[in-house]
A and B are shown apart, each in its own frame.
Chain A
Amino acid sequence: MNCVQTHWDGATWSPCELSGLNHSRTLVLLFGDLPNHVEAIQTLREKLPESIFAGCTTAGEISSWGITEGGLVATLIQFERVDIRLVSTQVARREESHRAGLELAQQLGSESLGFIMVLSDGMSVNGSELTRAITKIHPKVAITGGLAGDGARFEQTYTLANDKLATHQVVAIGFYGAALTVSYGSRGGWTPFGPIRKVTSSDGNILKELDHESALTVYRRYLGEQGGDLPAAGLRYPLEIIEDGKQTTVVRTLLAINEQDGSVIFAGDIPKGANARLMRANAESLIDGATEAAEVCKQSEQAGSEVAILVSCVGRRLLLRQLADEEIDEVTRVLGANTLVCGYYSYGEIAPFAVGACAELHNQTMTVTSLSEQLSDAPPA
């Protein structure tokens, strides 16, 4: 595996020496302000016409240079033995998310499939349903990824599938062959507080009522006068969703609000009848969460990772502010200096909570996926 990272400095790609990387086994991951850098993407594409291009807009790019915003970072991962394949589909309406997941999963096939990375539109896709559909077809395949971001605006997100940069698009990259080793970890660092409330009215990812009270009223009450404007301010208080009969809980972050009916739109499903609790965090607990995610990932690594894809939630960045780089530094420290980090701040993270479990959509987590390639048939030491 050969990994190179480059960023657009406004005029050129820096560093610009990418010779020998133009190959069908080279994956180019592009994170950043894609719609405003179409020419930059085209320049890179001309250099790497054989390679596979995938990417998305973000709420901040993560790279070996730290966190940047509004720029464009490309991470080139060249495999020697692992085949890669990109598929994509359009999702015109949220209700089509499950169908899109099934379609992508089927297109990828299952022969030698070892890992699926998913990059989805962040505003128009129901990430829970999308993930559920893909895990339904490939229950034993590792699946991680995330939803695209749009700064803290929550307006429009884009994904890139080779030449096609589009909204309402979901991209899935299949990694094939036994030479690939993948490990992952996903943790938040959030703590539930206050009373447990029943979700008394909801529809998919739209939360209407908690304990028969308008969800928007509950959020407004908690944010108070200093809370700032919703929906961005609502990222301070994600919801922990506890469903009967499920061992693990999921965290849901707020995406948008509806003033007319007092509902709140989340980045994943809020099942009616589930118990919900507001969560809070501080900079230290979030950084601890990121560290734990990296440690979980590191524990399941069979060999030293060569590249790590970090997908962290926009809510964390808004809360961490100047300390956001700390969580990236912590992850980098745990993974080791030989691991190249790339990734982005997202509107949702896709990963299993534990090794062997099915992938789910998470919010407010740091999700770390590390990749390495075995160069001989001998098992890793």
Chain B
Amino acid sequence: MHRLLKRQLSRYFPGGVPESDALNGLLQSINDAYENFSRDEAMLGHSLDISSQELNERNDTLSSLLDALPDTCIWVDELDIIRDIRLGQQLDGLFSASDKFRSLDEIALLKGQHRFRSYIINCRKNNRPEIHECQLMLGENQLFIETRFSPLKNKQVLVVFCDITVRKLVERLKTTALEESQRSGKQMQQLINGAPIGIMLIDSSMNIIMTNNCAASHLGLQPTQLLGRPCDEFIDPASRQQYLAAVRSGFDNPGSTCESRIDVNMLSPTQPSFAAELAFSILHHGGKTLVTQAFIDISARKQMERDLRRLAQTDPLTGVANRRFFYSQGEDRVRSCRQEGMTLCVLAMDLDHFKQINDNHGHATGDEVLKSFCRTLERLSPQSAIIGRFGGEEFTLLLPGHSSEEAQHLASRILTELPNNPVTTSSGALRYTTSIGIASLGETEGELEALLNLADSRLYRAKHTGRNRFCAAD
């Protein structure tokens, strides 16, 4: 029986509990309830003991963790009295153990630090952490401190001091370096903007990182539209391999100062492509190696070169090869056909009665006849043929790879076609004819000259035997 029930029964029934089923049942229930309440109380006490023990262990662990942290922290109560100080490994000397239980007003370090007090007030008022940076003098050293104010219960505040002096100095150095780099970059941009040629700076990722107005205007874009784009995007695909090799060689040999040049076709998204001469050089800027690509538009120069070449090689009236170009080309063909055992034929042609055409219809009509004759030759001749004007109304046709029979067949077609292609004059259609002498490579062992002489001799034979015909080997 429960101790308490036993005590109560002995008090109220000193002579013993009267026998009664109802009373016994009641006492049994009361006893069960006492036992249960006692057991519940014991268990509750036990569980609260365990719980307290666990919470204390956690408290110790947290305390050890705080001690192990490098930061210094103070625990300030609602009256700004320091309740606890943990001196971290950093900021040695910021506080001393004797500052504990002192008011913040008494701490020399914090005197005059009005902002520090306002942060504590804000933290209490808003009940949320505040993080600020401040500068403190510790002896002769200026320190940069990050202070974290965390609200605790009952208006208490935990202030953690973290020494960020090194970080701030590094940040300051980085800022200075960045400003220097930006200034230098700006100067470089101004420098290249003034250049009369297109300039692009390319980084090691092969992207354009700086350019000038001249480059952008050649490509029909704004300078900012070029930035960040792959440098080979504006190069004709046929030249990209060569171009990229030239750019890469700059990065592969950053110590080299040697410049390289290449001619490429440059592409623009908005304008026709153009020929450009590119010059590459190495530039070291802001700790990086860059390739400078300068370019000039050489389209006009290239066109002039092509025009000069054409003028030097062709007859200005008819557009066919002049004697000199015909000889240089013809000699090559003769040589290669001999080496390769191929056939080759020459047709020597002279327009019949051309002097009369000039006399009767004027030189302008004569010129039209010469041009018309050349167009007929071009139309009937194979692709490999070379047509040359040797002077006046004398023309020569070189047929590499063609046999004497094929040459005769062509001569026959020329004679047949000419009457069908008259030249129009003021007095009506003007028809003309030609005489043709044919020589083939197998007939002489000599060079082109010998072959032309043989064809010439047969031309004269054609003239003497009535004109408007061809003569070949007998």
Contact = CB atoms under 8 A, between A and B. Distances in A.
Interface of A: 193-195, 221-224, 226-227, 236-237, 278, 280, 282, 319, 321-322
A193 B53 CA distance: 13
Nearest to B29: A322
Nearest to B36: A321
A221 B50 contact: yes
Given A193-B48, A194-B55, A195-B55, A223 B43 contact: yes
20 contacts: A194-B51, A194-B54, A195-B54, A221-B50, A222-B51, A223-B43, A224-B43, A224-B47, A224-B50, A226-B43, A226-B46, A227-B43, A237-B47, A280-B47, A282-B44, A319-B40, A321-B36, A322-B32, A322-B33, A322-B36
A226 B42 contact: yes
A227 B44 CA distance: 10
Contact of A224 (B40, B46, B55, B58): B46
A175 B29 CA distance: 43
Nearest to B33: A322
The interface residues of chain B, by DSSP majority, are classed as helix
Contacts of B2: none
B111 interface: no
Contacts of A278: 47, 51
Interface of B: 29, 32-33, 36, 39-40, 42-44, 46-48, 50-51, 54-55, 58
B39 A222 contact: no
Contacts of A321: 32-33, 36
Given A224-B46, A224-B50, 10 more contacts: A194-B55, A224-B47, A226-B42, A227-B43, A227-B46, A278-B51, A280-B47, A282-B40, A322-B29, A322-B36
B239 to A, nearest CB: 59
B40 A222 contact: no
A322 B39 CA distance: 15
A254 B36 CA distance: 21
Contacts of A224: 43, 46-47, 50
A282 B32 CA distance: 16
A222 B58 CA distance: 17
A208 to B, nearest CB: 19
A249 B126 CA distance: 27
A103 B39 CA distance: 46
Contacts of B39: 226
B32 A222 contact: no
Contacts of B47: 193-194, 222, 224, 237, 278, 280
B58 A195 contact: yes
Contacts of A319: 40
Contacts of A282: 40, 44
Contact of A280 (B32, B44, B55, B58): B44
A236 B43 contact: yes
Contacts of B51: 193-195, 222, 278
4 closest A-B pairs by beta carbon, nearest first, are A194-B51, A224-B46, A222-B47, A195-B54
Contacts, number: 44
Contacts of B50: 194, 221-222, 224
Contacts of A193: 47-48, 51
A322 B50 CA distance: 28
A378 to B, nearest CB: 51
Contacts of A222: 46-47, 50-51
Most buried by A among B46, B48, B55: B46
Contacts of B48: 193
Nearest to B59: A195
B57 to A, nearest CB: 9
Contacts of B43: 223-224, 226-227, 236
A232 to B, nearest CB: 13
A247 B19 CA distance: 59
Nearest to B46: A224
B56 to A, nearest CB: 10
Most buried by A among B44, B47, B55: B47
A226 B33 CA distance: 16
Nearest to B39: A226
Contacts of A227: 43, 46
Most buried by B among A224, A278, A319: A224
Most buried by B among A221, A222, A319: A222
Contacts of A195: 51, 54-55, 58
A280 B49 CA distance: 14
A189 to B, nearest CB: 15
Nearest to B42: A226
A308 B39 CA distance: 34
A282 to B, nearest CB: 7
Contacts of B32: 321-322
Contacts of B55: 194-195
A194 B47 CA distance: 9
A324 to B, nearest CB: 12
A193 B46 CA distance: 13
B253 to A, nearest CB: 56
Contacts of B40: 282, 319
A85 to B, nearest CB: 44
A321 B46 CA distance: 21
Contacts of B44: 280, 282
Contacts of B42: 226
Contacts of B36: 321-322
Contacts of A322: 29, 32-33, 36
Nearest to B37: A283
A155 B308 CA distance: 108
Contacts of B46: 222, 224, 226-227
Nearest to A237: B47
A193 B55 CA distance: 10
Contacts of A194: 47, 50-51, 54-55
A259 B42 CA distance: 25
A322 B32 CA distance: 9
A221 B40 CA distance: 16
A111 B222 CA distance: 66
A223 B54 CA distance: 15
A318 B54 CA distance: 27
Nearest to A225: B46
A256 to B, nearest CB: 21
A268 to B, nearest CB: 22
A171 to B, nearest CB: 35
A143 to B, nearest CB: 35
A193 B39 CA distance: 19
A231 to B, nearest CB: 16
Nearest to A224: B46
B234 to A, nearest CB: 52
Contacts of B29: 322
Contacts of A236: 43
A155 to B, nearest CB: 24
A93 B55 CA distance: 40
A195 B62 CA distance: 13
A160 B268 CA distance: 83
A224 B42 CA distance: 10
Contacts of B33: 321-322
Nearest to A322: B33
A194 B50 CA distance: 8
A282 B40 CA distance: 9
